[in-house]
Amino acid sequence: MNIKTFIAGPIEANNYLLTDNDEAVLIDCSEVKPEILKELDGKKLKYILLTHGHFDHVLGVNGMREKTKAKVLINKNDVPRMEESASIMKTFGIQGIKTPTADNFINDGDIIKFGNTEIKAISTPGHTEGGMCYLVDGKLFSGDTLFKGTVGRCDLAGGDFKKICRSVKDILFKLDENTTVYTGHGPETTIKYEKMYNEIIS
């Protein structure tokens, strides 16, 4: 399996394109980035997996689905976050964005297959109600739940500081310490590094 990182959208979210043989999965979709489409040439994008519904992670969903026929999956609890994303963009002065929609819901423990690879969905509420992480081949895609040295903000709608602490400490910190963490913004990290240096979780 191959991982390519694309920094995309209005506030520089990380979108990750995972490819295995001729199939692919995109984790978060902040914009229809030409570089991502180019990378998909000759491959089938099976799924767009959303870590959560915040606008900066979902604004490319409708356009990308139109171009690739990928199925868009989100946790049901984050549908309200996704539904408000178009109106939030209006407040940023960006017009004409249709509300992003999902094709199906994803839940804790679900397994997503593409190529010869399996992705496990892990529910990690706190940054939002329906926040999800995705584990594949010893790599964790953490969305805005866990960042290098910190965690996602909890002061937006649906945020809950106690829950994010529980998600990180009781779920993510139980993963193998050598797990590489690909975050929703900024650099990657590891579970081992976060156990030692995370400023929020102690």
Chain contacts with Zn ion (rule: CB under 5 A): 54, 144
Containing 38, the helix (H) or strand (E) segment is helix 34-39
- Alpha-carbon distance of 50 to 102, in angstroms, equals 9
Q: How far is the CB of 53 from Zn ion (least distance, A)?
A: 8
Nearer to Zn ion among residue 128 and residue 179 (C-beta): 128
Q: In the bound complex, what is the minimum distance in angstroms from residue 99's beta carbon to Zn ion?
A: 17
57, two tokens: 């992670």
Residue spans of beta strands (DSSP E) within the chain: 2-8, 13-20, 23-27, 44-49, 71-74, 104-105, 111-114, 117-123, 132-136, 139-143, 146-147, 150-151, 180-183, 189-190
User: Residue with CB nearest Zn ion?
Assistant: 54
114 or 182: CB nearest Zn ion: 182
* Sequence-separated (6 or more) residues with CB below 8 Å from residue 124: 131, 132, 133, 142, 143, 145, 164, 167, 168, 171, 172
For Zn ion, the closer CB: 33 or 54:
54
Q: How far is the CB of 59 from Zn ion (least distance, A)?
A: 12
Q: How far is the CB of 27 from Zn ion (least distance, A)?
A: 13
- Compute the least distance from the CB of residue 51 to Zn ion, in Å: 8
- The kind and range of the H/E element at 192 are helix 191-197
Of 112 and 164, nearer to Zn ion (C-beta) is 164
Smaller CB distance to Zn ion: residue 31 or 144?
144
